[in-house]
Structure 1
């Protein structure tokens, strides 16, 4: 960000509520390290999610399930150091909160205290509603997540849209309402038909952030590596590429390799010189040996 540009006002939950009330879309993006945090900060997004999708986009796992709490904390701390204005949401990884309220609180406290998160995110309805209520009662702001929940995608039949029948849509809506009643401050709705989102949003007082859930949501979130074309894996139907940085990066490294192998790089302008006369003195000193 230019030194001549005044820093943005710190985003708050109240500011997001005002955006929802005014019909002003909320912009959320994932980030997983310090450089990506600096980029989304400079781009002026409202909310940054350190998603457990980092398991695949950054750490090379086949799904979100294997990523550990310590790995997520390391990434989240790096993102925190690159942010100033956006709200920071930390994704609690699979296995770090489901077993009990006590486990959920202990894990979430680490994300707040150690990584500087403003909120934590947990997936699903059901027993997760109890975890959300316990976290809120412990003073920890929570983001819920319904629809396609990647941590339990196997149980949902894989990475596929949810809520495509009236009964299934009602289940998504019921989960969302339960999470709001538990005290969640925000809700992510993933991979559901736009009709479901349109029916859900008026029922909720909290901001609804969609990902593959249509334009009716109060805001949108995309994965950093997906929207910039950095991830080599297959992209979901709802992903729009706003750049093709992976292609550009490969081309850049290929050009570098060609120049190194051809003796073109480094050129004289890429190096340093000794102070005048010192190279001669060095040769004299070596000769004395």
Structure 2
């Protein structure tokens, strides 16, 4: 049963909790630049994630690990400059929070002060609780991330579905409740069984945002380049391509090159 969408002038962390209470699903996409973020904001996307996935889709790296704090602040600033409604959440990059709670706080403060973002996101549960506590105590909103955590890819060794065995599933449920108790306003669940994700979403009062975690979550997130069909090699089961921009853009670039070479562009009407 669909729930009537409430019009929010500005999405806040409280808005997301209210949406969960009412049963209204939360839409979330990644963005890394001003132009894309402005379109998303105007389209009514609730949350824009400045993801460290910029490492893959913007810079061409195999993993998210090469992203630095300076990289994230640059992308976040570009996105924030475009926003009038959406909530902007920024990933803390690998190495900026895992080992030292004080470093985690410094990293978070830099993102908030230098980019103007509204919240940060970090990967992990019990093992990073001291970092989360320190960030929250400074008044910075925190979104958690459990399940497949890409910054730990070399530990996992694969991008396969997580928490299929009972022990890992129990840890995930425990970590989700811990993140709620600590004060996180939402949690991303990536690539976990749909039944487990639905159970987690029902067990906590904060929104659970899924990616490859089924429709029992309180919202969904995708990487924008994937859902627009700009990436061609990536074909996970959870991905729905809303456009085929790879083909459309290739055709446009080819037509432009042909028109330039033939002298058709610019025409008399396209010059001064």
Q: Same fold (TM over 0.5)?
A: yes
Alignment map for 1:1-289 (pairs within 5 Å): 9-272=9-272
Partner of 2:4: none
Alignment check: 8 A CA contact 1:31 1:49 kept: yes
| Larger radius of gyration between Structure 1 and Structure 2 | 1
Quote the offset at 1:152 in angstroms.
0.2
Deviations 1:175-196, CA, capped at 9 Å, x for gaps: 1111112211110000000111
Tell me the TM-score normalised to structure 2 length.
0.95
**Distance apart, 1:231 and its partner CA:** 2.1
Cα distance between partner residues in 1 of 2:49 and 2:143: 10
* Shift, 1:174, TM fit: 1.2
The separation in 2 between residues aligned to 1:85 and 1:111, in whole angstroms, is 19
Q: 1:70 to 1:233 in 2, by over 3 A?
A: farther
Give the deviation of 1:8 after TM superposition: 5.8
Please identify, of 159-168 and 31-40, the stretch whose mean Cα deviation from structure 2 is larger.
159-168
Q: Which 4+ residue blocks in structure 1 deviate beyond 2 angstroms?
A: none
Whether contact under 8 Å (1:130, 1:182) holds in the other structure is no
Partners of 1:234 and 1:206 in 2: how far apart?
Answer: 30
List runs of 5+ in structure 1 lacking aligned partners: 1-6, 273-289
1:71-116 deviation digits (Å, cap 9, x = unpaired): 1110110000111101100000000111211100000001111111
For 1:133 and 1:161, how far apart are their aligned partners in 2?
28
Whole-angstrom CA distance in 1 between matches of 2:183 and 2:235: 33
Are the counterparts in 1 of residues 97 and 131 from structure 2 also a CA contact under 8 Å?
yes
Per-residue CA shift, 1:182-231, capped at 9, x if unaligned? 21111000000011112111211111101100000000001110100112
Deviation readout 1:48-91 (Å, 9 max, x if unpaired): 10000010011111110011111111011000011110110000
* Separation in structure 2 between the aligned mates of residue 159 and residue 87 of structure 1, nearest angstrom: 28
* Partners of 1:32 and 1:78 within 8 A in 2: yes
> d(CA) in 2 for partners of 1:126 and 1:155?
17
What is the number of equivalent residue pairs in this alignment?
266
Distance 1:81 1:233, change over 3 A: farther
Following superposition, the deviation at residue 263 of structure 1 comes to: 1.3
CA RMSD, aligned part only? Answer: 1.2
Q: Deviations over 1:141-182 (max 9, x none)?
A: 100000000000221231111011222211111111111122
